[in-house]
A = this chain, B = another copy of it.
């Protein structure tokens, strides 16, 4: 009778189940309104284009064999060529030998940590940051250096302080990331790149939401800015940005197709890691994504932007109307999330329990998105999947829960204040 759990490696011992996953069951209660899910809205999936693509692939005797056989670890070549064109059109000087297809951008993050991170290595992240990145990196036992963000972007002084102490890389979502919805300005992007070069800290850019921007014109991506800078022009392998992207938000997540762009010498290693990790990505899935993206990506993302923008506007209007003035939030320029800050002593995890119990409304508390476990008075609201006509009533319910929590806190406050005064 051997207890195998005592034999886990340190990285295995440290693994914890997702805090967010635990809230999913509350969203399924009758009458619940949920702002918790970070999933794209399935009513916006391009079903017809996907069905057409897979039907055509399976009707072609050559392609159907390729779709179901083992494939190349670096990915389906026509899809890699599509990604190359897509990124070049956005101004990034990428080449085919810099592109690896991954199972969503999540796998790209795990591969980069696997390739670069030794136990104790420093990784710079923003506060808050994507929980899935913390989970992927966490397997390789890094130490996190946390840089605060604010409504307008990132704390550059704190960033410089952390960079000057050295780090393997910085993980960054410059465009309306999960969970904060913040957009880095052009000036901030250039400054991050400058600090990256000066302190030799690699930038890992996660552009999972970039295609869901609401502004008519995109800000330049980090690789686009990086390769156009003189320091990067002497050769592709000198670039300071590794870029991860995905079709999970612009098409569908269930096919698990994303990518990572890195200098060729890094890409060679990533391809070996892909082979060792799961041989290669699903062939049929990559072929479907290639065919569908080629046919409709531009028009389809245009449609998605309109739909998500309308939902964001409904949420922002409802917040302005119902929330007490002590609550602050941002106006995301794209993506799926609005980020709320509660008045200081309020705990979002307690508010979550109250909101579920008293108002049947669900959200995700902010603390799990902070690598240093701060952020207890923050929370994430998703507008992607909730029914449009449920947004205003849901926010109204949430505001009632916030007021109730503030009132309860107010009753408790004199006691706490009295305690604080005692010696």
- Interface residues, chain A, CB within 8 Å of chain B? 1-5, 7-12, 15-18, 21, 39-40, 42, 45, 47, 50-51, 54-55, 58, 64-71, 102-104, 106-107, 110, 114-118, 121, 132, 135-136, 138-140, 168, 197, 200, 202, 231, 234, 237-238, 240, 248, 252-256, 263, 265-266, 268-269, 271-273, 275-285
A42 in contact with B17 (CB, 8 Å): no
Contact among B8, B114, B197, B254 for A68, CB-based, below 8 A? B254
Give the oligomeric copy count.
2
A1 in contact with B234 (CB, 8 Å): yes
Min CB distance, A94 to chain B, in Å?
16
> 25 interchain pairs (CB within 8 A)?
A1-B231, A2-B197, A5-B269, A9-B115, A9-B116, A10-B118, A16-B272, A18-B272, A45-B69, A47-B64, A47-B68, A50-B58, A50-B68, A51-B55, A66-B254, A68-B253, A69-B254, A103-B103, A103-B282, A106-B277, A107-B277, A110-B278, A255-B284, A256-B280, A282-B282
Residues from chain B with Cβ under 8 Å of A273 in the complex: 12, 15, 139
Contact among B268, B277, B282 for A110, CB-based, below 8 A? B277
Residues from chain B with Cβ under 8 Å of A269 in the complex: 5, 8, 12, 15
Residues from chain B with Cβ under 8 Å of A51 in the complex: 55, 58, 64
The 4 A-B pairs with the shortest beta carbon distances in the complex, nearest first, are: A254-B283, A103-B278, A68-B252, A135-B276
Task: Given A45-B65, A106-B277, A117-B9, verify A70-B265 contact (CB < 8 Å).
Answer: no
Residues from chain B with Cβ under 8 Å of A283 in the complex: 254-255
Task: Identify the closest chain B residue to A199 (Cβ).
Answer: B2
Residues from chain B with Cβ under 8 Å of A238 in the complex: 1-2
